[in-house]
């Protein structure tokens, strides 16, 4: 019990704040795992139903999202349930198919905080906070990125609604996650790393600014070197009704003091 409490406490300290794993990885392992494409060698964009290729001007995409939010706000006034359900699908598609493709291949750096995809470098926490801000969530990307993984998760969802897992094999973790979550995009905090988990047809994919590959990638979580962790904390994003309502109303997300 003491060991589990200690492990859970560690996530309050580490959130892409340590380069230890990167330092101890052998060159051989890093070369094997590194790819010239933004996705792992076994990922099929058509099967996943998402795009790996950027399209359009990035600034125009962000303008469109701001404009479209007004549509959902008007819809919410007449049919809140329809507005939330539609916004959930919209945010899922915009993040995976419009925003993130521009970020694939952006160089990872422990101190990276670029606001422009593929210009400069991006750390794991800043990749998450920046893409969420560009998706239209009203948050401070600096404060979120600099927080511990548990605190980042609490920005998106109340502490009591988060899912924390410790000392599990990947198969055990996968079964637990699939028992409580549906297909969608989730935030995940690990021992010393953060990113997104995409759940699609019971399969877990890890989308992150990778210190293993030195760039932004999407890959199977099961075979990702960076997904290895003693602790996992999950927060809902595209399946999070409360968060979606906050997006629709442009409500400010503030770091919790609890």
Among 47-51, 88-92, 204-208, name the one with the lowest average pLDDT: 47-51
In a domain, 239, yes or no: yes
Q: What residue numbers bound the domain in which 124 lies?
A: 2-248
For 140-190, the pLDDT digits (tens) are: 999 999 999 999 999 999 999 999 999 999 999 999 999 999 999 999 999
Domain count, the chain: 1
Averaged pLDDT for residues 50-62: 95
In a domain, 258, yes or no: no
Q: Any alpha helices (H) in 11-55, and if so which ranges?
A: 20-24, 27-33, 45-48
For 84-119, the pLDDT digits (tens) are: 999 999 999 999 999 999 999 999 999 999 999 999
Given this model, what pLDDT does residue 152 score? 97
Q: How far is CA 126 from CA 141, 187, 257, in A?
A: 7, 13, 20
In a domain, 254, yes or no: no
CA distance 115 to 134: 9
CA distance 79 to 116: 36
In a domain, 145, yes or no: yes
In a domain, 257, yes or no: no
Given this model, what pLDDT does residue 47 score? 84
Averaged pLDDT for residues 43-65: 93
Using DSSP, how many helices (H) and how many strands (E) does the chain show? 12, 8
What's the pTM?
0.87
Among 43-57, 78-92, 106-120, 238-252, name the one with the lowest average pLDDT: 43-57
In a domain, 222, yes or no: yes
């Amino acid at each position: 019990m003491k060991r589990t409490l200690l492990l859970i406490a560690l996530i309050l300290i580490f959130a892409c704040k340590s380069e230890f794993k990167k330092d101890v990885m052998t060159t051989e392992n890093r070369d094997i795992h590194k790819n010239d494409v933004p996705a792992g060698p076994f990922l099929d964009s058509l099967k996943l139903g998402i795009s790996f290729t950027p399209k359009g001007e990035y600034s125009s995409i962000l303008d469109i999202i701001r404009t479209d939010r007004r549509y959902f706000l008007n819809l919410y006034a007449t049919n809140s349930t329809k507005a939330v359900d539609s916004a959930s699908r919209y945010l899922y598609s915009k993040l995976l198919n419009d925003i993130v493709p521009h970020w694939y291949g952006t160089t990872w750096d422990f101190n990276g905080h670029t606001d422009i995809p593929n210009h400069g470098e991006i750390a794991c926490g800043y990749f998450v906070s920046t893409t969420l801000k560009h998706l239209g969530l009203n948050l401070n990307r600096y404060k979120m990125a600099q927080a511990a993984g548990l605190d980042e998760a609490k920005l998106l969802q109340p502490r009591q609604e988060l899912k924390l897992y410790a000392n599990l094999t990947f198969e055990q973790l996968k079964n637990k996650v699939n028992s409580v979550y549906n297909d969608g995009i989730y935030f995940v905090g690990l021992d010393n790393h953060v990113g997104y988990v995409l759940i699609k047809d019971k399969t877990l994919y890890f989308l992150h600014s990778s210190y293993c590959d030195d760039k932004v990638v999407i890959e199977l979580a099961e075979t990702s070197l960076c997904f290895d962790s003693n602790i996992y904390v999950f927060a809902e994003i595209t399946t999070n009704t409360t968060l979606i309502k906050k997006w629709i109303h442009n409500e400010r997300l503030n770091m919790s003091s609890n």
